[in-house]
Amino acid sequence: MTRHHRRERTAGVAVLAVLGLLLVVLPGPATAAGQARADRLQRDADALRDAGVTGVAVRLRTPDGVRTATSGTGDLTTGRPVPRAGYLRIGSTTKSFVATVVLQLVGEGRLRLDDTVEKWLPGMVRGNGNDGRAVTLRQLLGHTSGLPDYVADVAPRDSREFEAHRNRFHTPEQLVALAMRHRPEFRPGARHGYSNTNYLLAGLIVRAATGHTWQHEVRTRILRPLGLRHTGAPEGRPSFPRPHATEYQQFAPGGPYADTTAPYLPFDTGADGAMISTAADLDRFFTALNTGRLLAPAQQAAMRRTVAVPDGPGEIPGSRAGLGLFSVPLSCGGAYWGHGGSGLGYVVEPAATPDGRRTVTVSLHSRPAGQVTAVRQLKALHTLVDHALCGIPR
């Protein structure tokens, strides 16, 4: 899985291999430069639509104000527009919230980044060469543990499997047990290798250390203090509030697009990707995170201590992984921080400059089965984010 498809990297299989409607300009001076940026934003959103995405929504905040753009359609049956401020399933962007909670607990002395998984979850990571005594919390948060990803064991191969299994709930412990049937990808600490299993374990460690679920800790430590009223960390069986766009997954190249808006419970309920939010709330969260409102300096520095992300289809050369955050180079110099997320039928990409002065969130409401199409869409997504954060007007 590419950086924008963190939920399904190992689940690739055949499943997840990898009009223009309205532009709204909110408070900000009506300058020629601002209008040019707005035009650029709409053109970039339309480019994603032209690359085959059924529906696109963008929210950009700069010192001039907030601009939004939509393109495509929010529902292929009715033709209704993409909501400009709709709810989003944010998939692996959930990991940034969970990593923030863990690092807060580290700052309070209740956890240590060098704690082993075995210390907090005795006997859970073992078998087939997996060893919780050799894997640390730091390695879980930074995806350097080498632990196998459970997602391939539960991903549906076609729309019939999606419908048959979408309400089949698994506990985190059961999903970790599925992962333990496979050998590690590499020796702990050897390199970066994305695995959703890491964050199932991180969520369980939060519960072991606090006596509360990771959802409870996210709500009390992040959502309430920041006033993120449209962000949820649901427990059990999540619902999807309205308004939201319909999401479509293509399960085979050239095949039809299936409506996959309903949460797929085998992997839409855990600390690796269960949360629901809005673009405005994601803006507020990543701005707070980047500007030091959520973490003490030592933990902020630990989160931003990065390792190289291996090159792959759709990856930006020079991308690096921190603890629950990714650093991605910009064409204008420097890099942005964020964490993309995806699932069946959707991609979300929130990104912010290090100083928090510019943020953008892009949501795509369909995903193709073919890798060539998927990479083309990812390149268009990267281009939009780069133009938005660099302020490229044309």
Neighbouring C-beta atoms of residue 304, cutoff 10 Å: 16
pLDDT band at 19 (very low <50, low <70, confident <90, very high): very low
Q: State the average pLDDT over residues 1-10.
A: 40
- The residue from 92, 145, 319, 342 that is catalytic is 92
Q: What is the CATH number of the domain that holds 289?
A: 3.40.710.10
**Of the candidate ranges 22-26, 69-73, 112-116, 284-288, the one whose mean pLDDT is the lowest:** 22-26
Helix (H) or strand (E) holding 87: strand 87-89
Q: What's the CA gap between 344 and 143, in Å, rounded?
A: 22
| 223 in any annotated domain | yes
| 26 in any annotated domain | yes
Residue type, 345: G
Residues, the chain: 394
Tell me the backbone φ, ψ of residue 346, rounded to 5 degrees.
-150, 155
Q: Return all residues near 292 (Cβ < 8 A) that are at least 6 apart.
A: 300
Q: 143, 96 in Cβ contact below 8 A?
A: no
| 302 in any annotated domain | yes
Q: What's the CA gap between 171 and 272, in Å, rounded?
A: 13
227-283 pLDDT, tens digit per residue, is 999 999 988 777 899 999 999 999 999 999 999 999 999 999 999 999 999 999 999
How far is CA 349 from its chain centroid? 7
What's the pLDDT at 315? 82
Tell me the backbone φ, ψ of residue 373, rounded to 5 degrees.
-65, -40
62-101 pLDDT, tens digit per residue, is 999 999 999 999 999 999 999 999 999 999 999 999 999 9
**Does residue 31 carry a pLDDT above 70?**
no
Q: What's the CA gap between 17 and 313, in Å, rounded?
A: 11
Question: In the numeric block, which tokens belong to residue 131?
Answer: 């060893």
| 270 in any annotated domain | yes
Question: Quick one: which of 166, 120, 391 has its CA closest to 259?
Answer: 166
Report the domain count for the chain. Answer: 1
Q: 361, 283 in Cβ contact below 8 A?
A: yes
153-172 pLDDT, tens digit per residue, is 999 999 999 999 999 999 99
| 1 in any annotated domain | no
Q: What's the CA gap between 340 and 64, in Å, rounded?
A: 25
Neighbouring C-beta atoms of residue 26, cutoff 10 Å: 11
306-347 pLDDT, tens digit per residue, is 999 998 887 899 999 999 999 999 999 999 999 999 999 999
> Which ranges in the chain belong to alpha helices (H)?
32-50, 94-107, 117-120, 137-142, 159-165, 172-179, 197-210, 214-218, 224-226, 279-290, 297-303, 371-390
What's the pLDDT at 38? 56
Q: Do the strands 130-131 and 126-127 form a parallel or antiparallel pair, or are they unpaired?
A: antiparallel
What's the pLDDT at 25? 27
Q: What's the CA gap between 288 and 130, in Å, rounded?
A: 36
What range defines the domain where residue 85 resides? 6-390
Strand-pairing partners, residue 259, are 248
Q: What's the CA gap between 154 and 15, in Å, rounded?
A: 11
Q: Do the strands 248-250 and 366-367 form a parallel or antiparallel pair, or are they unpaired?
A: parallel
What's the pLDDT at 239? 80
Percent of the chain with pLDDT over 70: 90
277 is catalytic: no
| Average pLDDT, rounded, for the chain | 91
Q: 264, 156 in Cβ contact below 8 A?
A: yes
First to last CA, the chain: 31
* 12 or 109: which leads in pLDDT: 109
Question: In the numeric block, which tokens belong to residue 195?
Answer: 């695995």
**Does residue 12 carry a pLDDT above 70?**
no
| 230 in any annotated domain | yes
127-142 pLDDT, tens digit per residue, is 999 999 999 999 999 9
Q: Return all residues near 216 (Cβ < 8 A) that are at least 6 apart.
A: 210
